[in-house]
């Protein structure tokens, strides 16, 4: 049986993935829309920055985030000046790390989906009296729906499987910042294979169910899109 | 009401520079080869090309000038794109209501009903766009634009993406709009046939400039334009049915060219008709033929003539208040000494009903 620390780790992992995905969709949607539409000649710089977490070792990313979020870093000291706590080794810090780490997995599918929608449907909506905001929500978003689904799932799943960044900036505080992937690592280190089995099996089952649900849904979306 | 505009647009490889005053009713066709700027002109009028500099007034309301640019969603315009462009995530009815709700709220359905009726799409309302044929989709797109009660309807080659059969399925609906609505329409096309059937006013464009502009009959009969130089050149004459003889099916039409006789099927007296006379079906004689099988022989004066290819000469004839094109062989023109100002007799062998 999994211990209470393991269940807490699972709960924290799910919370982290859900909150990060939500924030990623809110931040990623306007960014992806802008990237899909802008004619700005330096767009590639922004695209490269968004894609950076894909190639950077998570420990490197985590190291810089630790510096930035710690009491001496720009974000950490800003938080302290505002009367708050430095963000390193807190759940909020984990969320920030996850958002940065999973950004390309959300922005790229959205950007592709918005590019595929193209300008024409938006022009049609404009000639049908829809204001820019109106046509974004009533035309671009529904037409890009499969992209949103892909983005949400990839963002969620990627955060779920995160290890290096969390280890660097969250440490490994059971009941506060310990997530499943790190708990499994700890159990294996301690040769407690039973607990490792419980946790790993649980995560495996959950991920499989989630992905199956998504692919089943996505098939329906494709039928609608034809 | 009228439509006045003047615009300049420079895109490096393409420039547009024109000014036009178009009638506030009926169909104005914009005709020209592809790449001449017809579509760009429509996009400018709809507010979809922000880089165009100039002014546009529709029925006394300014949509664009030096000081203001009314964004596309605030222009009372209906736009039918070349490809149907229905929203795939909405049913046909959802598509129709999209613009309607935004232009006049949910209150008034009468214009929606009228549009559904005019385009014959009632049986399609519950379907999704991908379940419709290309022609049906385009009819829905036209109805969607009409339902908003626009002050101006812009049609960008709405038939160009369709095959011949579909084209002839939609043309009657467009002719019906033309007959039954006072709404001004601007119809972009590179098809002579569509223009001949639909247009009242014609703008010929080439290379971003206006080459000629005027009533359809006048512009069609201008010999200096490429439009009259094509082998299928025709003249369009409008008239009113005056008499129908049930013995032999001959209809007499009172036209600007005088009475014209033709076998057109049974038509109601008083019905307005649009007739087409092919230039190759018109011949001329110096004296009135006495015993010809040709039904229509009318006194005419040669206004202009132009050589066409190696063997033919195109004549522009003034017949009554109308203009007819006649295509004769170069040999006949030489042997009869045809020249401008000469009085002749025009023989019209065949008259076809348009639409």
- Tens digit of pLDDT for each residue in B318-328? 988 888 888 89
**Residue B250 β-bridge partners:** B245, B263
What CATH number does the domain containing A36 carry?
1.10.3720.10
Task: Assess whether pLDDT exceeds 60 at residue B178.
Answer: yes
Cα gap B57→B66, rounded to integer Å: 12
Give the pLDDT band of residue B107 (cuts 50, 70, 90): low
| B244 close contact with A: CB closer than 8 A | no
Which of B169, B194, B228 terminates a domain? The answer is: B228
pLDDT attached to residue A21: 94
| Nearest of A49, A50, A83, A86 to residue A68 by alpha carbon | A86
| B285: exposed, middle or buried (Cβ count in 10 Å: 0-12, 13-18, 19+) | middle
DSSP 3-state percent helix, strand, coil across chain B (nearest 5):
25, 35, 35
pLDDT attached to residue A19: 94
Which residues in chain B have their CB less than 8 angstroms from residue A130's CB? 73, 98, 102
Same domain membership, residue B224 and residue B265: no
Positive or negative torsion for Cα B242, B243, B244, B249: negative
Please give the residue range of the domain that contains residue A27: 4-225
Which residues in chain A have their CB less than 8 angstroms from residue B148's CB? 128-129
Lowest mean pLDDT among A5-19, A110-124, B59-73, B224-238: B224-238
The tally of CA atoms less than 13 A away on the side-chain side of residue B115 is 28
Same domain membership, residue B180 and residue B122: yes
pLDDT attached to residue A113: 92
pLDDT attached to residue B352: 84
Same domain membership, residue B197 and residue B59: yes
**Chain mean pLDDT for chain A:** 85
pLDDT attached to residue A218: 67
Interface with chain A: mutation pick from B47, B70, B72, highest number of A CBs within 10 Å: B72
Beta strands in chain B (DSSP E): 2-10, 15-23, 27-31, 53-58, 61-64, 77-80, 152-156, 185-189, 201-206, 209-215, 234-245, 250-255, 258-263, 272-278, 282-285, 296-308, 312-319, 322-329, 343-348, 352-353
Structure tokens that stand for A221 in this block: 């979306």
pLDDT attached to residue B39: 92
**Chain mean pLDDT for chain B:** 88
Return the SS3 of B115.
helix
Same domain membership, residue B204 and residue B137: yes
Same domain membership, residue B274 and residue B154: no
**Residue B327 β-bridge partners:** B314
- Contact yes or no for A109/A144 (Cβ under 8 A): no
Task: Assess whether pLDDT exceeds 60 at residue A126.
Answer: yes
pLDDT attached to residue B274: 86
What CATH number does the domain containing B223 carry?
3.40.50.300
Query: What's the mean pLDDT in B173-192?
Result: 88
Residue in A123, A129, A139 closest to B87 by CB? A139
Interface with chain A: mutation pick from B81, B82, B87, B103, highest number of A CBs within 10 Å: B87
pLDDT attached to residue B105: 62
Structure tokens that stand for A120 in this block: 């024409």
Task: Assess whether pLDDT exceeds 80 at residue A176.
Answer: no
Positive or negative torsion for Cα A88, A91, A96, A97: positive
Share of chain A above pLDDT 90, in %: 33
| B148 close contact with A: CB closer than 8 A | yes
Same domain membership, residue B305 and residue B252: yes
Residue in B81, B89, B102 closest to A129 by CB? B102
| B82 close contact with A: CB closer than 8 A | no
Cα gap B75→B278, rounded to integer Å: 40
Q: Any idea what DSSP says for residue A118?
A: -
Same domain membership, residue B164 and residue B25: yes
Q: Quickly list DSSP for A134-171.
A: HHIIIIIHHHTHHHHHHHHHHHHHHHHT--HHHHHHHT
Which of B171, B200, B228 terminates a domain? The answer is: B228
Q: Any idea what DSSP says for residue B72?
A: G
| Nearest of A51, A38, A26, A44 to residue A148 by alpha carbon | A26
Task: Assess whether pLDDT exceeds 90 at residue B40.
Answer: yes
Residues 292-351 of B with CB under 8 A from A: none
| B91 close contact with A: CB closer than 8 A | no
Cα gap B260→B216, rounded to integer Å: 19
pLDDT attached to residue B160: 86
Residue in A123, A138, A226 closest to B48 by CB? A123
Cα gap A179→B227, rounded to integer Å: 76
- Tens digit of pLDDT for each residue in A71-118? 777 877 777 777 777 777 788 888 888 999 999 999 999 999 999 998
- Tens digit of pLDDT for each residue in B286-315? 888 888 888 889 899 998 888 887 888 888
Same domain membership, residue B146 and residue B210: yes
Contact A128 B98 (CB under 8 A): yes
Which of B196, B228, B260 terminates a domain? The answer is: B228
Cα gap B185→B78, rounded to integer Å: 9
Instruction: Name the more confident of B219 and B79.
Output: B79
pLDDT attached to residue B217: 81
Structure tokens that stand for B285 in this block: 């004689």
Chain A residues whose C-beta is within 8 A of a chain B C-beta are 120-121, 123-132, 134-135, 138-139, 142-143, 145, 224-226
| B85 close contact with A: CB closer than 8 A | yes
Helix A4-37 crosses helix A193-225 at what angle (to 10 degrees)?
30
Give the pLDDT band of residue A2 (cuts 50, 70, 90): low
* Number of domain units in chain B: 2
Same domain membership, residue B275 and residue B147: no
- Please give the backbone phi and psi of residue B61, each rounded to the nearest 5 degrees, phi first: -100, 135
| Nearest of A164, A176, A122 to residue A9 by alpha carbon | A176
- Tens digit of pLDDT for each residue in B131-150? 998 889 999 999 999 999 89
Please give the residue range of the domain that contains residue B172: 2-228
Structure tokens that stand for B143 in this block: 């109805």
Query: What's the mean pLDDT in B173-201?
Result: 87
pLDDT attached to residue A5: 78
- Contact yes or no for B286/B219 (Cβ under 8 A): no
Chain A residue nearest residue B48, CA to CA: A123
First to last CA, chain B: 27
Task: Assess whether pLDDT exceeds 80 at residue B166.
Answer: yes
Question: How many other CB atoms sit within 10 Å of the CB of residue B189?
Answer: 21
Same domain membership, residue B265 and residue B191: no
Instruction: Name the more confident of B232 and A166.
Output: A166
Task: Assess whether pLDDT exceeds 50 at residue A224.
Answer: no
Residue in B73, B85, B88 closest to A129 by CB? B73
Same domain membership, residue B268 and residue B213: no
Specify the residue for token string 């006048």: B218
Query: What's the mean pLDDT in B169-190?
Result: 88
Task: Assess whether pLDDT exceeds 70 at residue B222.
Answer: yes
pLDDT attached to residue A1: 59
Task: Assess whether pLDDT exceeds 60 at residue A58.
Answer: yes
* Number of domain units in chain A: 1
pLDDT attached to residue A226: 29
Query: What's the mean pLDDT in A185-189?
Result: 88
Structure tokens that stand for A189 in this block: 């280190």
């Amino acid at each position: 049986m999994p211990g209470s620390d393991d269940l807490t780790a699972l709960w924290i992992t799910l919370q982290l993935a859900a909150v990060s995905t939500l924030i990623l969709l809110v931040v990623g949607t306007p960014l992806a829309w802008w990237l899909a539409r802008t004619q700005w000649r330096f767009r590639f710089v922004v695209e490269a920055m968004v894609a950076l977490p894909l190639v950077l070792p998570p420990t490197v990313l985590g190291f810089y985030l630790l510096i930035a979020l710690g009491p001496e870093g720009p974000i950490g000291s800003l938080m302290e000046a505002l009367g708050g706590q430095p963000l390193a080794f807190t759940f909020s810090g984990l969320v920030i790390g996850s958002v940065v780490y999973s950004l390309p997995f959300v922005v790229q599918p959205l950007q592709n989906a918005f590019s595929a929608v193209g300008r024409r449907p938006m022009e049609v909506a404009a000639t049908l009296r829809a204001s820019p905001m109106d046509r974004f929500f009533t035309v671009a978003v529904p037409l890009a729906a499969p992209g949103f689904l892909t983005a949400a799932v990839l963002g969620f799943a990627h955060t779920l499987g995160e290890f290096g960044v969390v280890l660097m900036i969250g440490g490994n505080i059971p009941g506060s910042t310990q997530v499943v992937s790190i708990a499994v690592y700890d159990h294996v280190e301690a040769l407690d294979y039973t607990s490792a089995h419980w946790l790993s099996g649980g995560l495996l089952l959950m991920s499989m169910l989630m992905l199956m649900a998504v692919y089943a849904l996505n098939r329906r979306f494709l039928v609608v899109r034809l | 009401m009228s439509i006045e505009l003047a615009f300049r647009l420079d895109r490096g490889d393409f420039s547009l520079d024109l000014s036009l005053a178009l009638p506030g009713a009926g169909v104005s066709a914009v005709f020209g080869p592809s790449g001449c700027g017809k579509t760009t002109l429509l996009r400018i009028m709809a507010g979809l090309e922000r880089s165009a500099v100039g002014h546009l007034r529709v029925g006394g309301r300014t949509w664009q000038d030096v000081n203001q640019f009314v964004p596309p969603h605030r222009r009372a315009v209906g736009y039918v794109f070349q490809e149907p462009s229905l929203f795939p995530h909405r049913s046909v009815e959802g598509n129709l209501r999209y613009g309607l709700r935004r232009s006049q709220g949910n209150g008034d359905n009468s214009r929606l009903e009228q549009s559904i009726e005019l385009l014959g799409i009632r049986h399609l309302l519950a379907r999704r766009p991908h379940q419709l044929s290309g022609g049906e989709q385009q009819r829905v797109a036209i109805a969607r634009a009409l339902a908003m009660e626009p002050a101006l309807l812009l049609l960008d080659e709405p038939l160009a993406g369709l095959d011949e059969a579909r084209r002839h399925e939609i043309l009657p609906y467009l002719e019906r709009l033309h007959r039954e609505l006072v709404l001004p329409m601007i119809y972009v096309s590179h098809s002579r046939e569509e223009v001949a059937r639909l247009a009242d006013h014609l703008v010929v464009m080439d290379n971003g400039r206006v080459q000629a502009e005027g009533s359809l009959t006048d512009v069609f009969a201008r010999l200096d334009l490429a439009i009259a130089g094509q082998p299928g050149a025709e003249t369009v004459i409008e008239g009113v049915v005056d008499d129908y003889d049930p013995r032999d099916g001959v209809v007499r039409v009172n036209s600007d060219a005088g009475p014209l006789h033709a076998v057109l099927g049974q038509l109601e007296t008083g019905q307005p008709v649009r007739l087409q006379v092919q230039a190759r079906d018109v011949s001329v004689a110096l004296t009135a033929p006495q015993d010809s099988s040709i039904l229509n022989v009318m006194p005419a004066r040669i206004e202009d003539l132009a050589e066409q290819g190696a063997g033919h000469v195109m004549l522009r004839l003034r017949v009554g208040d109308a203009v007819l094109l006649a295509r004769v062989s170069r040999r006949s023109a030489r042997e009869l000494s045809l020249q401008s100002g000469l009085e002749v007799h025009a023989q019209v062998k065949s008259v076809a009903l348009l639409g």
